[in-house]
Structure 1
Amino acid sequence: MLIVVLFNFLLVMCAVYAFARGGAPERVVAAAFVAAAAASYAVIPAKGHFHGVEVGLLLIDAGLLAVLTGVALRANRFWPIWIASFQMFALLVHVARAYQEDVLPIVYFAVISRIAYPMLLLLAIGTARHFWRVRQYGEDADWCTRLA
């Protein structure tokens, strides 16, 4: 239970920081993280979960990957690429669980739940760097104007 409280605390702190100091990419990613976390709590069963592929979580992770990939393709930042990569790894863990049924439920749970911590760290670092660039140069473009 402590790990859930810690995650929720870090999620709220990173989201508040991103909304207060970040640009549009930081705010979009923070909102996506909060929405995905809320949806995850809604679909996780009370007992006996992670003995098979958690389809609800897989769909949430796929949706989050779509949002993060969109941000990574359009944002004028490098950190969204890393976050999208971490999310792709989380999605691949679901796929691996589908193909390899003897993966222990605790391992499956640990990997898909703990991958969020480095993603939150990247969001916080990306927000701090954006805030620094705005203070240093007066502006920091949020989105690329064209795809090259």
Structure 2
Amino acid sequence: MLLILSCLYAAMRGGRPERIGAATLFGGACLSVILVDPFGGRFRHIEPGLLLTDLAMLGIFLWLSVRSTRFWPLWIAGLLLAEVIVHVMRGAMPNIVPRAYIDAVGFWSWFAQLFLAVGTWRHGKRVKRRGVDGPWKN
């Protein structure tokens, strides 16, 4: 529910960076559901589909961090980097309990939704105060 609400809020009230962020988070969540190994070995090894999705999302949020005037994409990029590290650690330590891997990968997404919502709210405050909130750096 938080994913849907934060992405709808960003899509309706945010600027271009917020809409790109919302589409990325929503698309990444949908891909994550589709790409998880559907057979009995779920999360018993590195989930390559999740890892690739997280890497792609990390790239998008790093790009947003560099190109946009917003600060919140950098926070989400940091969370995604933590997720990628969890995947790497799963490969380095195969004895990790699958439930711990699931929880560690999913934990960061809650904060990403909150950062998107707060970033969208702050965008609205800047628009009200200044009349404009330029989305991109020169």
| Interval of TM-score (by shorter of Structure 1 and Structure 2) | over 0.9
Question: 2:7, 2:23 within 8 Å by CA — same for their partners in 1?
Answer: yes
Matched-pair identity in % = 36
- Tell me if 1:75 matches 2:68: yes
- Tell me if 1:84 matches 2:54: no
TM-score, normalised via structure 1 length = 0.90
Alignment match of 2:29 (pick from 33, 37, 50): 37
| CA deviation string 1:63-82 (max 9, x = no partner) | 11111111011110111111
Which runs of structure 1 show a deviation greater than 6 angstroms over 4 or more consecutive aligned residues? none
- The residue that corresponds to 2:20 in the other structure is 28
Task: For structure 2, list consecutive stretches of 5 or more residues without a partner in the other structure.
Answer: none
Question: 2:2, 2:113 within 8 Å by CA — same for their partners in 1?
Answer: yes
- Count residues with an aligned counterpart: 137
| CA deviation string 1:31-54 (max 9, x = no partner) | 001111111111123433100100
- Tell me if 1:114 matches 2:104: no
Task: For structure 1, list consecutive stretches of 5 or more residues without a partner in the other structure.
Answer: 1-8
| CA deviation string 1:81-127 (max 9, x = no partner) | 11101100101110111111111111110010121000100000000
Question: In angstroms, what is the RMSD of aligned CA positions?
Answer: 0.9
